[in-house]
Amino acid sequence: MGPSQEDSSVVAESITIIDNRTGNQLEIPIDRGGVAASEWSKLLPGIWFYDPGFVSTAACESTITYLDGDEGILRYRGYPIEDLAENSTYLEVAYLLLRGELPTVEEFDAWHHEITMHTFIHENVRKRFLEGFHYDAHPMGMLVSAVAALSTFYLDAKEIFDPASRHKQITRLIAKMPTLAAAAHRFSVGMPFVYPDNSLDFCSNFLSMMWKVAEPRFDANPVLTRALDILFILHADHEQNCSTTAMRVVGSSHSDPYSACAAACAALYGPRHGGANEAVIRMLTEIGSIENVPAFVDSVKQGTGGRLQGFGHRVYKSYDPRAKIIKRTADQVFEITGKNPLLDIALKLEEIALSDEYFTSRRLYPNVDFYSGLIYQAMGFPLEMFPVLFAIPRTAGWLAHWQEMLDQDSKIARPRQLYAGAEERPYVPIGSR
């Protein structure tokens, strides 16, 4: 029921726009916090929203992840991230993201078995493709290329509307990501490739492929395996972030999932996104000691020291809930590995920034990457592997969004622009310029 004269306190859930050139107006309903641009176009065809970085644009409807940046809430399919980090595993969360419900015991066993059966990569991917890289190739660059190359190994991947094929590619991608990631690392340090050990769970197998030397079976410390599992849960999805948007945009042209996933990996490679935890460690190393923290914070505020890496988020304007969980996980990991010497600098930096008007007024708080790098470093991962460690679990989120986008029969992504270039002008021959 709409507002009436008797009850003027009822506010209509709508906006009214007026075209001042014509006086025409249109009421548009507000639905779940959004207004439909298609409605807007009825009154104002050819007038575009100018929104660089999609700061105020909802590009799709989604049922996968709920995020409230003001309240610091993150839920996958309705389940709070804290609950999942405490009680679930990455593989179960991947199932949840992709299927919408937590699996039963039988469903999980079948899923686990399927993933385990797809962990191997074609020998040519490793021998001819990965080993063709230069010795100092960045593992994330190798991963981006290797994921794209998989599309040439699985030609059935083009059948994106065949449910069986789609399921197979999803299984392959989730299962092979750790194998590709570990292979990229082993190559870059000159160690022989370790084949997957299908007697191990998802994270233990990845750690085995990373660190195994000559022992018949590599059994990782269970505390470290669990910490990695938690980090994978926390990184599995984050609604319409840069890499997921890349996945949806490329997928909207109906390219195969490997090509779309490679684009998502490429987006994750950048220091503003998946490269941020690497940047945090470099920043902490550069700061060097607690005494240098105040001067560093000052240089950030003055704009001469760059940004405070691992701080700030496009959506979170309060403490990132994932950062809180990671901080706790860090303590457990450091009990096994010994404390990362950079931790004290990080804690001091956080303390000073959280009480400084520059950061509080801009609502800049630690994000997921502020502490994750410290854990990865303590566990022995080289800095270059950090974005790779992000890509492994985010694959589940990318694929969940890709699948959802295809099921929504969405249009090809094709935004408009506001042209700001030259007016028409005649071509001038090179000799007359």
What spatial distance separates the first Cα and last Cα of the chain, rounded to whole Å? 68
Q: Where does this chain touch ligand ACO (CB under 6 A) — which range of 134-142, 184-192, 205-213, 366-374?
A: 366-374
Residue whose C-alpha is closest to residue 79's, from 223, 232, 233: 233
Count of residues that bind ligand ACO according to CB under 6 A: 17
Does residue 308 interact with ligand ACO by CB under 6 A? yes
Does residue 324 interact with ligand ACO by CB under 6 A? no
Between 90 and 311, CB nearer to ligand ACO: 311
| Least distance CB 105 / ligand ACO (angstroms) | 33
Residue whose C-alpha is closest to residue 383's, from 55, 140, 125: 140
Q: Which two tokens stand for residue 45?
A: 């065809």
| Residue that is written with structure tokens 């410290």 in the block | 374
Q: Please name the amino acid found at residue 40.
A: W
Q: Catalytic annotation on 401?
A: no
| Residue that is written with structure tokens 């022995």 in the block | 380
Q: Catalytic annotation on 320?
A: no
Q: Where are the alpha helices (DSSP H) in 159-256?
A: 163-188, 202-211, 222-235, 242-251
Pick the binder of ligand ACO from 246, 249, 263, 300 (CB under 6 A).
300
Does residue 393 interact with ligand ACO by CB under 6 A? no
Q: x/- site string to ligand ACO, residues 151 to 190, per CB under 6 A? A: ----------------------------------------
Pick the binder of ligand ACO from 256, 350, 369, 404 (CB under 6 A).
369
Q: Where does this chain touch ligand ACO (CB under 6 A) — which range of 188-196, 259-267, 304-312, 411-419?
A: 304-312
Q: Catalytic annotation on 19?
A: no
Residue ranges in 343-362 that form contacts with ligand ACO under rule CB under 6 A? 362
Pick the binder of ligand ACO from 151, 169, 259, 367 (CB under 6 A).
367
User: In angstroms, rounded to a whole number, what is the distance separating the alpha carbons of residues 120 and 175?
Assistant: 8
User: In angstroms, rounded to a whole number, what is the distance separating the alpha carbons of residues 374 and 340?
Assistant: 7
Q: x/- site string to ligand ACO, residues 269 to 298, per CB under 6 A? A: ---xx--x----------------------
The two counts, helices (H) then strands (E), for the chain are 18, 5
Does residue 310 interact with ligand ACO by CB under 6 A? yes
Does residue 314 interact with ligand ACO by CB under 6 A? yes
Residue of minimal CB distance from ligand ACO?
Answer: 312
Q: DSSP assignment of 362-426, as one string?
A: TT--B-THHHHHHHHHHTT--GGGHHHHHHHHHHHHHHHHHHHHHHTTPPPP-------SPPP--
User: In angstroms, rounded to a whole number, what is the distance separating the alpha carbons of residues 377 and 217?
Assistant: 23
Does residue 387 interact with ligand ACO by CB under 6 A? no
Tell me which residues are annotated as active site.
273, 313, 369
User: Which chain residues interact with ligand ACO by CB under 6 A?
Assistant: 272-273, 276, 300, 307-314, 362, 364, 367-369
